[in-house]
Structures are given as structure tokens and as C-alpha cells.
Chains A and B, each alone.
Chain A
Amino acid sequence: MAALASATKRHGDRWPDVRFDLFGDHTAMGKFTVREGLVQSEDAEARASVHRLCGRDVLDLADYEAVILTGLQFSVFAALRPFRDVVVTSQPSITDVAALAGGEHQLVSFGALGAMVEDFLSQTPGFALARDIAATGLTQVIIASQPRPSIAAREDARQFNRLRTLDRDGDGAFASQFVDKRAALLCKAAGIRYLPQPGKSITHNLYTRHPFMRGSVRLAAREGLSHGREDVIHANAAFGALVIDDALKTLESAKDAPAV
């Protein structure tokens, strides 16, 4: 969300006819629900937290033509979790299907893996909120995938082992496309548009190119607070701008005069 917020500030002139309002914060959004057309919370701390950041603690969905939801754990990276336990016969690294039986990783069907990925995504707070917003019929909803980790993480053996394994085994493209496809199917079934991570920002299928991570800023009332140099999970304004471009294109394809 910080990437999108900073994009609207730095690159706002790219979308002169669009008004952007931000609504959210680091942790409190999980306590917001949709009631009577409003995104609101009964938790006073959660309301105060969002208010500090956005100057409001209620979002009236009727005021917007579209909501772009990002964060809240809805990410390709998170949905790759099943690949830790299972393999499917159509994975590129699987060259000898007959040898799979009884192997180290549990063999599951393509359909079962898809269901696992969809289950994982459908249980994220992001999907739950997007689904409930979509169900109101008051506005369009887009879920923008969170960025993949920075390419810098590819060389860091301390973390993201799942990604590194998929990458090493040549399964990165398969896994990435698989999750994106299932995310799109899941969202479509709930009346949500899924926005995959902009292709231009992706490298090695599973990582985000450095130019779209470098200089990312924190989601904070005080502007310009940057993440540390070690940070590999937050994207910058350039990334946010790509997401907004793609979101507007998506909305244009469905509507003549988009406004967010």
C-alpha cells in the first residue's frame, strides 16, 4: 500500500483525472469489515490507527467507482506455500513421472494443487475484505498482488528457501503462472478482478527487479521514511505506478470512464 501511496504522490500527474484516497494501515485492517456499504471497524484502536494515517476511519464504498486492495497477505509469494509439500506431474522439474511414486514430496494432482493454492489465498484477510466489498455491488474491486521479494533475496540463503528451490529446479515460471492463474479464477468467482504483479517488475519469475524495490518508503504519516537497506519485501513508488497503470487499464476494459 505504501508503494501505491507514494506513487500517487510522486507520479500523480500520470493520472490527472483520477482521485485517489488511501485507506488502511500496517496491522489494523484485519479488524475492518464491510457493513451497510461501509468499511468500518468496531475496534477503537484499529479505527484510531487508520485515522492517524488516512484522516478517516470509515470508507463509504458508494463514494468510489473502484477499490484497489493490496496487502493483507494476498500474495503470490504466500500462495506458493503448497509447493513446499507437494509436486505435480506437470512441473518442469519432473522429468520421470514414473519415478515420482512414493518420492520425497507428495504427489498430488494439478487440481488438488490448484485447490490448495485457492484455499490459501481465500483465507487471507485481503480476499475476505475484497469479497465482502464486491458483494455490496457498490463498487468494483481489484486485488493487486503484493510484490514478489526482491531479486536481492535470491542470493540470501537465510530466507525464501521455497522460492530458491523452485528457482533452482526450474519450476519458477510454472509456479508463478500457476498461482497467478488460480488467483485470477478465485477472484473472478467472487466478482473481484485480480491484478497480477506487473510483468515489467518481475525477474527470474519469482522475484521483483531491484529498480522497483530500491528506495521504498514506509507506510507512515510522516512522509519519506525509508525501509532499511536489508529490506527485500517492500516495493517503491515506481512499482506502485505500474500497479495503478494496470489497474486503470483493467477498469477501462470494463468501463468507459474510470475514476478511482
Chain B
Amino acid sequence: MSAHHPYADLPDSRFWRAGVVEADRLAWHDLYCPKFPVTAQTEIATAGSCFAQHIGRALAGAGVVPLNGEPAPASMHPQTAERFQYGLYSARYGNIYTARQFRELLDDAATGHVDDRLIWRARRRFFDALRPSVEPDGWISQAEVMAMRRDHLMRVQAVAESADVFVFTLGLTEAWIDTATGRTVPTAPGVIAGRYKPAQVRFHNYSYDEIMEDLAGIRDALQVARAGSKLLLTVSPVPLTATASGAHVLAATQLSKAILRAAAGDFADAHDDVDYFPSYEIVTTHASGEMAFAQNRRSVRPEMVARVMDVFLRAHGLEPSEQGPKPSFDASEPQDADEEDALVCEEALLDAMRE
């Protein structure tokens, strides 16, 4: 037998049996080979869908404290800070599920653009349609929403100007677009605040091409804010809570994740300053032989989250915290408890509202 074929000299990680079946499926050696380093000195920022919250916590646990451009006031109780979503990400933007949202946020931050049409009302309070969950009881006036948003955008811009690496977790392709402004909002009106009126909002399922364009816009915005900054992409393994696409939610989830995965991979391949971390693969592969998801088949079990973050941290020569990331649920809780208590996840509200 001749050894002269293209697979002859490849490392073990390129072969299913050696790279998966016979490999250490806790460590997943060579699954992630960083293009650029993350160290304790790296100014790192985080944004994205619910799963991105784990990344920030794990980084902090390993001594890489993410930037916090919008910290809680010194005299605010930590639980209150959490309730008002201070410290959840590098600024108080809440969950950012789509690439379009993130791109538009960065554009707003660069220009200071605030649109008074993007204010929803509920319970005689006012909500920022672009981050409706950050203020649990809403704001008391439109003026307050506008002022807080201006302040927020300045802080986002400061984060973008400081970040060596921005970690962005892509969550969804499905989104709702405000008809009047053309802006993508994180939740449909009526889920947290506002009222669903079909004429005022339209459903949109972002395509691969659109996401590639948005990723390019994100990269450009970050480069303008800070030349030489890096973008680290991940894809959330968390399935859709609900779909408005007309398809079965399982098929809609797979389609959405496939598009996101393909876009993230292709975009990273095309740019030296963009990397992809395969959290999605680690969680969703059947090969791990582990229960990756909790009873609701949606929330990622804390042990799996810890494993994902171990792979990331060790690839960068960082030691995971002994405690690991904060579990998203208490294992002692009854099986039917809400495993997402520790994560702020508007999407999960869709399910809760259905009951």
C-alpha cells in the first residue's frame, strides 16, 4: 500500500476514529486552535445570545475579567445589579440574538443615534425596544429612555474602542423588524413590553448572505473603533424556544444553527483577525456520549458548559476556575424546575407565556 495520498500525514484530529472515538472527549485536543491569544491582560468584551453569558462568567473565573463599560453603581446591591442586567455583558445591552442587532448597535454607538420611535409601552411604563429586558419595571418617561440610551451608547462605544477581542455569540437567524424604523428588535413586541400589531413589525429569517454582510459590518465597526481589534465568533447551541417561520421548531432550529455555523466558519476563514470557537459542536455532537442538555432538551447542563469553557480556556493556556461557571440551575432542584433561572433569556419567555 502506498502512503502517498492526501490523508497520509494528517494528525489524529483529522480522523473520526482517532480524533473522536479514541480521543479524550473531555479535552477535545486540537478542536480549537486559537488564531490569536487571550490572556489575563487581554481587554475582552462579550455580547450575544443567552449562551454568551456563560463565556463572560468563565473568563472572569479564569482571571480574564471582561470589560465592563457600564458597571453597576458602587452602592447598588449585587442582586439588584443582576436584576437590572448590569455586568451581564460588557455593556447593558441585554441579549443580542442576531448579527443584525449587533451591527446596528455598533452603528448607533458610533453615531450616537437614538430613535424615539423605538420605545414600547407597557403597564404605564416605557421600554427601550432595543433592549426591553434590562429595565425590569420599565422607565418612567420617554425622556428617561432616551437619556439612558444615549448614555448606554457612549458606553458601548467606549467598550468597542477598548476591546482587544470582542466575543460575539450568534444565537438566532429569526428576528422581528420594526416596520417604521427597519430596526431589528431582540424580542417581538408583546413578549416583554409593547403590543403586537402585525402592521408595525414583520418577521424576518436572516439568510446566510445577510449574516455574512452583517458580520462584515460588525468587523468594520470594531476596526474603526479600535484598529487591530479581533472578533471571536461562537454559535449558541441552545435551540429555539419557538419559531415564527412556519416550520416545525426542530427543523427551524437546525436550519438556523446550520446557517449561523456556516456563516461564522466562513467569515472566520476569510479573516485573520476573526476566529471561531466551536462551542456549538462540543455541546451538540452525539459523540460526546454525555447528556448535554437538561430535561427541557434546551438548556445546556452546567457540566457541559464547564466542559466547553475548559476547552476554550485551556487552548489559551488559562486555568478554569475550580468552581467553574455559575451553574444555570441548581442540580438539587426538582426535575421540572426552570433550568434557565440563572440565565437572562427573553426567548424563554415565549415558552412561559404559552403556558
Of all chain B residues, which has the CB nearest A107?
B151
Of all chain B residues, which has the CB nearest A98?
B150
Name the one of B74, B79, B80 contacting A112, with C-beta atoms under 8 angstroms. B80
In the assembled complex, B352 has its CB within 8 A of some CB on chain A: no
- Surface stretch bound by B, among A79-87, A203-211, A248-256: A79-87
Taking CB atoms and an 8 Å cut-off, the chain A residues in 141-155 that contact chain B are: none
B64-87 interface bits toward A, Cβ cutoff 8 Å, 1 = contact, 0 = none: 000000000111110110011000
Name the one of A84, A90, A102, A115 contacting B144, with C-beta atoms under 8 angstroms. A90
A55-95 interface bits toward B, Cβ cutoff 8 Å, 1 = contact, 0 = none: 00000000000000000000000000110111011100000
In the assembled complex, B32 has its CB within 8 A of some CB on chain A: no
- Note all chain B residues with C-beta closer than 8 A to A112: 73, 76, 80, 84, 135
- Note all chain A residues with C-beta closer than 8 A to B154: 101-102
A108 in contact with B73 (CB, 8 Å) = yes
Q: How far is the CB of B88 from chain A (nearest CB, A)?
A: 14
B147 in contact with A97 (CB, 8 Å) = yes
In the assembled complex, A119 has its CB within 8 A of some CB on chain B: yes
Given known pairs A102-B155, A110-B140, the reply for A116 and B77 (CB within 8 Å) is yes
Taking CB atoms and an 8 Å cut-off, the chain A residues in 102-141 that contact chain B are: 102, 106-112, 115-116, 119-120, 123
Provide the bound-state CA to CA distance between A107 and B84, in Å.
13
Interface size class of A (residues with CB under 8 A): 20 to 34
Q: How far is the CB of A114 from chain B (nearest CB, A)?
A: 9
B151 in contact with A101 (CB, 8 Å) = yes
A100 in contact with B140 (CB, 8 Å) = no
A90 in contact with B141 (CB, 8 Å) = yes
- Note all chain A residues with C-beta closer than 8 A to B139: 109-111
A111 in contact with B135 (CB, 8 Å) = yes
- Note all chain B residues with C-beta closer than 8 A to A81: 75
Provide the bound-state CA to CA distance between A100 and B154, in Å.
11
In the assembled complex, B146 has its CB within 8 A of some CB on chain A: yes
A85 in contact with B137 (CB, 8 Å) = no
Between A and B, 23 residue pairs with Cβ closer than 8 Å are A82-B73, A88-B144, A89-B141, A89-B143, A89-B144, A97-B143, A98-B147, A98-B150, A100-B150, A101-B153, A102-B151, A108-B76, A109-B135, A109-B139, A110-B139, A111-B139, A111-B140, A112-B76, A112-B84, A115-B80, A119-B77, A119-B79, A123-B77
